Amino acid sequence: MKALRKILVIACVIALAALGASACGKKSESGGGSGGGGGGEINVALTSFPDYVDPQLSYTVEGWEVLWNVYTPLLTYKHAKGKDGTQLAPALAENMPDISPDGKTYKLKLRPNMKYSDGTPIKASDFAYAIQRLFKADSGGSVFFDVIVGATDYADGKAQNISGIKTDDNTGDITITLTEPNGTFENVLGLMFAAPVPPSTPLDKDSTNKPPPASGPFMISSVNAPRTLTMERNPNFHTVKDAGASEVPDANVDKIIVNENKNNSAQVTDIEQNKVDFMLDPPVADRLAEVKAKYSDRFRMEDSINTYYFFMNMEKAPFNDIKVRQAVNYAIDPEALNRIFGGRLHPSQQILPPGMPGYQEYKLYPGPDMNKAKQLIAEANPADKDITVWTDDEPDRKRIGEYYHDLLTQLGFNATLKVIAGDVYWTTIGNQSTPDVDTGFADWFQDFPHPDDFFRPLLHGDSILPTNGNNYSRVNIPANNAKQDELLTKLIGDGGVEDQYAALDKAYMEQAVWAPYGNEQFTTFLSERMDFDKSYHHLLFNQDYTSFAIK
């Protein structure tokens, strides 16, 4: 009996050891999938789930980061870091568009023999269908395509399709006609708003629960909004690569599981303990110092194209006086703002951020110089000293608002602070009927790397709208409006265009239309097993998931 017992015990031990070994080995690399190198399964955490898992509807950082490598448009932004990533290259299209001399006609040709992840062939008419979805599903991105002939008629239901888009499925030809020349049109063609989808996708509804088949290196294999979604290698991506789309890289992992976790601090702990491989959001200020100090081998700060500023309503006293506006620019201290933002603001007092074509550094308001500011206020001697300062309720923005409120008080104004919930903040200050919108917090993240995306919505006279306007300072300088319109008709690559945009930036700041103070930096924080050097942050789409690889 004793011997039997011994054998049983040894058998149990061996069984347990085998179980343990196999459990440990669960997350190890499995062989490479069809095409492309690497392999394995990783998981990603984010605080807010993508707004829509739908290329035509998604309009948030989370959505774009996740969907960039799932839906390929006709053109793509180069998958490179820094300024290289702001350049366009052909993706599903064979070449960059053939633009007519009058700038109104764009001709492209779809590569042949490509298939979506479910085997459906990719057709030229799928592009037209995607643009139609933008209008019928009320996408925020539809405004970028209003310039296509017949778009508004289609949106209003007066036409069955968009007359300005002609496609031929046999040859793959796509011809787009615009109502006027538009230097940003190529840029918007590179956004996922314009990614072709098969006509099986619902025309006027969000398809988050059943996303359309993929044309990129990854496909969405399952979605459980708003908690989790799974991405896997697209088995038919090789048809896109074989057709010549060399600018879209292969995936380097087999599977990515994306999970929502509202607790940023818990995400930080998870990455530190290697339970999660990547977190989309920067670590919360409370943990940032610790991460920087202890995990510098897998953490770095990343630049991003955005500007943080205080808007000043130029239509009303006291900000209708240029001296008051310039005083604010002298008084604010970008370094102080950086500290209350947790150390992630790159100080800058210009409209365009570094990395944006047209950015050239200058310094108009050296400071912070409270004395100069107070002197300017004394010269201006505004009669109306009541100011309402607006900000939203996210913790760092609230602190920024409190700093600004104190600053204005120090300058001698009678300032009142209003803190509004983040989700309704923009529509509140963008609404003309809201009283007392004098000054407050604002930021702007690029939609695409073209300076017009900053100047037009934020500083053009036409953007002063009754509701939902983005021109919070109510800037309307006719000479600059005309310059913007003139530059829009040219292409960014044309000679002198970037310099002229830089001059425009300075011209606006000479008028002190804003009080900008910085550009927010993002972060890359990876678990130990990820290849830190391979992974990079794209200036528009944030982390490029095709650059994720296990060491």
Partner 1 sequence: MVSPIDSLEAPGEPPIPTGVPVAQIQGRSPWYLAWLRLRRNKVALVCAAVFVLIVLFCLAAPLWAEHVAHTGPNENHITDTVMIDGQETDVVAPDGTPLGPGLHGKFLLGADQNGRDVMVRLMYGGRTSIYVGLAAALVTTILAVIVALLAGYYRGWIDAVLSRTMDIIWAFPVLLLGIALGTTLSIGGLKAGPIQIAGDSLWIPILIIGLVYVPYVARPIRGEILALREKEFIEAAVAQGKGPLRIMFSELMPNIVSTVVVFFTLNIANNMLLESALSFLGAGVRPPNASWGTMISDGYQVIFTAPHLTVVPGLMIVATVLSLNVFGDGLRDAMDPRAKIRLEH
Partner 2 sequence: MARFVARRLLGMTAVLFAISVIVFLIFNVIPNSDPAARIAGKNADPALIARVNADLGLDKPLPVQYLTMMKQIFTGQLTSYAKDRNVVQQIWEGVPATFSLCIGAAVLWMSLAILFGYLSAVHAGRFADRALTILSLVGISMPVFWLAAMLLYFLSFKVELFPTGSYVPLTESPGDWAYHLILPWFTLAVLFVGIYSRVLRSNMLDAMNEDYVRTARAKGLSERQVRIRHVLRNSMIPVITLFGLDFGMVVGGGAILTETVYNLDGVGLYAGEAIRSLDLPPLMAVVMFGAFFIVFFNTIVDILYAVLDPRIRLGEAAPA
- Applying CB under 8 A, which residues contact partner 2? 51-52, 59, 138-144, 146, 152, 155-156, 206, 225-226, 261-263, 265-266, 269, 393, 421-424, 426-428, 430-431, 433-434, 447, 457, 465-468, 470
Spatial distance between the Cα atoms of 42 and 62, rounded to a whole number of angstroms: 17
Q: 360 vs 409, which CB is nearer to partner 1?
A: 409
CB 227 to partner 1: min, Å = 24
**Residue 96 in contact with partner 1, rule: CB under 8 A:** no
544 binding partner (options partner 1, partner 2, none; Cβ < 5 to 8 Å by kind): none
**Cβ atoms 64, 74 nearer than 8 A:** no
Question: Shortest Cβ distance from residue 489 to partner 1 (Å)?
Answer: 42
**Is 254 exposed, middle or buried, given 0-12, 13-18 or 19+ CB atoms closer than 10 A?**
buried
Q: Is 399 in the site for partner 1 (CB under 8 A)?
A: yes
CB of 186 to partner 1, least distance (A): 40
Task: Report if residue 266 touches partner 1, rule: CB under 8 A.
Answer: no
The torsion angles phi and psi of 426, rounded to 5 degrees, stand at -65, -40
Give the residue among 97, 88, 102 at the shortest CA–CA distance from 181: 102
* Edge-to-edge order in the sheet of strand 414-420: 345-347, 514-520, 306-312, 439-445, 386-392, 414-420
Q: Least distance (Å) from partner 1 to the CB of residue 285?
A: 5
Q: Which amino acid is at 219?
A: M
The one of partner 2, partner 1, none whose footprint includes residue 418, by CB under 5 to 8 A per kind, is partner 1
Of 67 and 377, the one with the shorter C-beta distance to partner 2 is: 67
Residue 83 engages partner 1 in binding (rule: CB under 8 A)? no
Please give the structure tokens belonging to residue 78: 């180069």
User: CB of residue 317 vs partner 2: minimum separation in angstroms?
Assistant: 22
CB closer to partner 1, 418 vs 537: 418
Q: State the residue for tokens 């073209």.
A: 450
Contacted entry of partner 1, partner 2, none for residue 401, CB cut-off 5 to 8 Å set by kind: partner 1
- Collapsing DSSP to helix, strand or coil, 176 comes out as strand
- Give the one residue of 108, 223, 407, 458 binding partner 1; rule: CB under 8 A: 407
343 binds, among partner 2, partner 1, none (CB under 5 to 8 A by kind): partner 1
Number of residues located near partner 1, criterion CB under 8 A: 37
What are 189's two structure tokens?
């063609």
Q: How far is the CB of 287 from partner 1 (least distance, A)?
A: 7
Per DSSP bridges, beta strands 414-420 and 386-392 are parallel
- Scanning 42-50, 77-85, 413-421, 437-445 for contacts with partner 1 by CB under 8 A, the matching segment is 413-421
- Three-state SS for 271-290 is HHCCCCCEECCCCCHHHHHH
Interface region with partner 1, contact rule CB under 8 A, candidates 38-46, 278-286, 318-326, 379-387: 278-286
* Dist. CA 236–CA 232, nearest whole Å: 12
Burial class of residue 350 in the structure, from the number of CB atoms within 10 Å of its CB (0-12 exposed, 13-18 middle, 19+ buried): buried
Q: Of partner 2, partner 1, none, which one does residue 17 interact with (CB within 5 to 8 Å by kind)?
A: none
Dist. CA 81–CA 538, nearest whole Å? 5
- Residue 291 binding partner 1, by CB under 8 A: no
CB of 424 to partner 2, least distance (A): 5
> How far apart are CB 465 and partner 1 at their closest, in Å?
20
Binding partner of residue 166 among partner 1, partner 2, none, CB under 5 to 8 Å per kind?
none
For the bound state, the minimum distance from the C-beta of residue 212 to partner 1, rounded and expressed in Å, comes to: 38
Interacting residues of 130 by C-beta distance below 8 A, sequence separation 6+: 55, 56, 193, 194, 195, 196, 197
Q: Return d(Cα 319, Cα 313) in angstroms, integer.
A: 6
Determine which residue in the list 176, 192, 417, 509 makes contact with partner 1, applying CB under 8 A. 417
403 binds, among partner 2, partner 1, none (CB under 5 to 8 A by kind): partner 1
Q: Note the Cα 164 to chain centre separation in Å.
A: 28
b/e per residue 59-73 (b: at least 16 CB within 10 A): bebbbbbbbbbbbbb
Of partner 1, partner 2, none, which one does residue 59 interact with (CB within 5 to 8 Å by kind)? partner 2
Instruction: State the SS3 of 492-504.
Output: CCCCCHHHHHHHH
- For partner 1, which residue of 393, 443, 485, 528 counts as binding (CB under 8 A)? 393
Name the site residues for partner 1 (rule: CB under 8 A): 265, 284-290, 292, 333, 335-336, 338-343, 393, 395, 398-399, 401-403, 405-407, 409-410, 416-421, 428
